[in-house]
Amino acid sequence: MKSALVTGAASRLGARLARFLACRNFRLVLHANRSAAAAQDLANSLRGDGAEAEILLADFAQDESAARFALELTERFGAPDVIVNNASIFTHDFPGRGDSDILAASLGVHIKAPFRILESAAQAKEPAQTLTIFNILDQKLINPNPDYYSYTLGKAALLAMTELWQLAGRTDIRVFGLLPGLMFPSGPQTQERFLADLALLPTGRATSAEAICAAIGFYLDHPGIPGQNVPIDGGEHLKPRRRDIAFE
């Protein structure tokens, strides 16, 4: 049975990705940090549906915890056939009011942990094994605005790592960047404001978890497609903004 790691798997998009991969008969490794109870509930639910699911806890903002996670992952489970780097930290700061603690956490979660996970998996994989990596990015990397300054810097580093792997000439490790847009209420958005902001998108629709899952399924079903970066955002990247949509 092939295996899949989903980081930040306890809730929202991560939980839906885990359920999707379980339905495709992957053995799941679920990463969580503060949401251990929710991750356990998800694992129990997946097991009740006949899937195999294990939990690995780690605080990716802490170097020692992230390094231990990457080592334990491959020691216990080998190199996952699919890795979804979904874990994120979304705290607001702004140029001129940047926060070095937020930046340190963003770099830990968004680039240092994925870097360690992918390097560990690349070294532990079987010679004939093909790995497929999905890095969950953000449409604002191709349509930038200065809000969530440190978050954006961390995601930009993950995009750079994604592109460097795509240039590395590996046919046994495919790395994809998926760039969603407005998906769930976040930051200062109320549900009412979230719905109003959706109307400002070119399609008027939120990015759905189902669309992200469908993209992952497509690439898994077409192993000959090399890694690439794809916005899945209701056209949000086509409309430049000076501020994040939640602050306009």
**Between 74 and 186, where is the model more confident?**
74
Read off the pTM: 0.95
Select 3-247's CATH number: 3.40.50.720, 3.40.50.1970, 3.50.50.60, 3.30.1490.100: 3.40.50.720
The average pLDDT across 118-146 equals 97
Task: Transcribe 67-119 into DSSP letters.
Answer: HHHHHHHHHHH-S-SEEEE---------TTS--HHHHHHHHIIIIIHHHHHHH
The average pLDDT across 166-180 equals 97
Summary mean pLDDT of the chain? 95
Separation of alpha carbons 120 and 180, rounded Å: 27
Q: If pLDDT is split at 50, 70 and 90, which confidence band does 86 have? A: very high
3-state secondary structure of 230: strand
pLDDT of residue 247: 81
Determine what percent of the chain is predicted with pLDDT higher than 70.
100
Question: Is residue 95 predicted with pLDDT exceeding 80?
Answer: yes
Question: Is residue 140 predicted with pLDDT exceeding 90?
Answer: yes
Enter the DSSP assignment of 141: G
Q: If pLDDT is split at 50, 70 and 90, which confidence band does 205 have? A: confident
